[in-house]
């Protein structure tokens, strides 16, 4: 799913990928960078970060679990410490490299480890250009 998000954003001219987290984890050890969002970008010199979450579908109650409390805390710290907005890219359905739905939700809107479809529906993305226009 991360590759899908990278490809989507890099199609836009003025978007640059600054870094991608390695997601290294072995025998209980992980890279410190794993506590930060997956992708860091700039758009017109404005930094932002994206944490990528793919789910095969919404649960029967139309919700998804997208993170744990400690992960949410880590993303908030990253947003504050690095003075950049963090967004959660949520891919739903289809496959990780071609989800049927894409949501780009500002972190401040996701305060709990789960999200209801009705709560995030306004952040459904049909065009990355529209998303980029909204973040500036």
pLDDT of 115 higher than 90 = yes
Q: What is the pLDDT of residue 25?
A: 53
Q: What is the pLDDT of residue 59?
A: 96
Q: What is the pLDDT of residue 34?
A: 58
Q: pTM to 2 decimals? A: 0.90
Tell me how far apart the alpha carbons of residues 117 and 124 are, in angstroms, rounded to a whole number: 10
Which tens digits make up the pLDDT trace of 20-68? 986 655 555 554 555 789 999 999 889 999 999 999 999 999 999 999 9
Q: What is the pLDDT of residue 55?
A: 97
Q: What is the DSSP string of the chain?
A: -HHHHHHHHHTSTTEEEEEE----EETTEE-GGGGS-SEEEEETTEEEEEEEEEESS--TTSEEE---HHHHHHHHHHHHHTT-EEEEEEEESSBTTB-SEEEEEEGGG--SSEEEHHHHGGGB-S-HHHHHHHH-
Q: What is the pLDDT of residue 21?
A: 85
């Amino acid at each position: 799913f991360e590759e899908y998000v990278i490809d989507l954003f890099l199609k836009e001219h003025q978007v640059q990928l600054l870094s991608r987290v390695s997601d290294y984890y072995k025998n209980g050890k992980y890279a410190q960078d794993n506590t930060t969002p997956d992708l860091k970008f700039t758009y017109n010199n404005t930094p932002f970060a994206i944490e990528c979450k793919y789910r095969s579908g919404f649960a029967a109650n139309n919700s998804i679990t997208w993170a744990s409390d400690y992960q949410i805390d880590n993303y908030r710290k990253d947003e504050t410490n690095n003075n950049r907005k963090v967004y959660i890219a949520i891919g739903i359905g289809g496959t990780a490299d071609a989800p049927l739905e894409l949501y780009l939700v500002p972190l401040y809107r996701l305060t709990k480890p789960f999200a209801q479809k009705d709560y995030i529906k306004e952040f459904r993305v049909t065009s990355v250009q529209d998303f980029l226009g909204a973040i500036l």
